[in-house]
Structure 1
Amino acid sequence: MQKDDWDCLPESMQQIAEVIGLDGAERLVRAVGGARFKFGKGRHNTARMKLLRQAVGKAGADKLAAVFGGDELYIPRCTVQLRKVRNRRFRAAFMALTDGGKTSKAMALTELCPQFGLSHRTADKILAEREEVAVQGALFD
C-alpha cells in the first residue's frame, strides 16, 4: 500500500498500520480480514500468535501484541482499498512493460492478467479508467 491509501483505511486499520506499517497491515487484512481478532499478550505458543506471526512476521506480531495485547479488534476486509492497490500495481507493471514499445499490449496482458488474477476484460477496464482520469484531470488544469 502507499501513503495515498492511508485516509481510505478504517480507523482500526490506521491504528494497526501505525504500529506495523502499511505493508504489514495489508498482509494482516489478507490473512484475517473480515473477522474479529483478539490480540494475545505475547504468549508465543498459541494458535493465535502463530497465525499472527505467519501473517506479519515475528517482529510485527510482537509489536502488535505489545500495543494491542488483550484487545479484540475487528479487522475489516478493506476490499475497496485492496482493489485500488491491486489496480495501481497492475497499471504500473503494465506501463513498465509497454512504455517505449518494449512489449505489445496483448503480450503484456497475457503475462500480467494471471499474475494479478484479472481477466483481460477487467484489465482493459482498469487501463481505460486510468486514461479517463488522466483526460478528465486535464480538463480542469
Structure 2
Amino acid sequence: MRSKFEDVSEYLPESVLGMIEAVGFVNTDKIIAQFGGSTFKFSDGEVYFPKLKELIGPESAVKLRQYFMGEDTYIPRCESALRILRNARLQADLDFMKEVEKKSIRTALLELCPKYSISDRQVWKILKKSRITSAPNQATLF
C-alpha cells in the first residue's frame, strides 16, 4: 500500500524523513494525519506513548521513541507536499474528464472545484504553472 507522501518525499522536512526511515511511509502518514501541526513528546509517558501505540502499534511506537530519544518533536502538517499532491490529482482528474469524458475544461471545473475546495482562478494558475514546467525546451535554430 502506497502512502500519499511517498510520491513527494523530496518535499518533506527532515523530521518527517526520519520518521519514515524509522517506521515507514504508511505509519508516518498516520502520524501526520493525527498529530500534524503539534509538538509530540516521544517518550514513555502516560499521555503521548499510549496514543502513539494505539495509532501505529507498539513495535513502531518503540522504534520512534528510540529514534527521537524522548525529545519534544514538532510534527509538521506537510502542507507543501499535500498541495503538490492535490495539484497532481486535480490535473489527472481534469485530463481524464477532458480526454475520456470529452468535457470542456470549464464544465470539468464545475465538478472539480468543489471536490478539491479550490477556486477556478486557482486552478487556472495551477494549469498555467504546470504548462510552463512541462513544456519541452526547444533548441535554438541558430
After TM superposition, the score normalised by the length of structure 2 is 0.72
One-letter identity of the residue aligned with 1:15: G
* Closer, same or farther: CA 92–78 of 1 in aligned 2, 3 Å: same
Per-residue deviation, 1:27: 4.3
* Closer, same or farther: CA 40–5 of 1 in aligned 2, 3 Å: same
Instruction: Measure, in 2, the Cα distance between the counterparts of 1:131 and 1:114.
Output: 23
Per-residue deviation, 1:21: 3.7
Greater fraction helix: 1
Instruction: Measure, in 1, the Cα distance between the counterparts of 2:73 and 2:21.
Output: 15
1:14 aligns with 2:14: no
- List gaps (5 residues or longer) in structure 1: none
* Closer, same or farther: CA 63–71 of 1 in aligned 2, 3 Å: farther
Equivalent residue for 1:139?
Answer: 138
* Closer, same or farther: CA 115–102 of 1 in aligned 2, 3 Å: same
Instruction: Measure, in 1, the Cα distance between the counterparts of 2:95 and 2:74.
Output: 36
Instruction: Measure, in 1, the Cα distance between the counterparts of 2:81 and 2:19.
Output: 15
- List gaps (5 residues or longer) in structure 2: none
Q: Deviations over 1:83-119 (max 9, x none)?
A: 1111111111211221245322122111111111111
One-letter identity of the residue aligned with 2:16: M
SS at 1:118's partner residue? coil
Equivalent residue for 1:108?
Answer: 108
Identical-pair percentage: 30
Per-residue deviation, 1:122: 0.6
Q: Deviations over 1:42-95 (max 9, x none)?
A: x8xx66467557xxx74x243541212244321123222221111111111211
Residue correspondences, number: 132
* Closer, same or farther: CA 103–20 of 1 in aligned 2, 3 Å: farther
* Closer, same or farther: CA 124–63 of 1 in aligned 2, 3 Å: farther
CA RMSD in angstroms, aligned pairs only: 2.8
Equivalent residue for 1:28?
Answer: 31
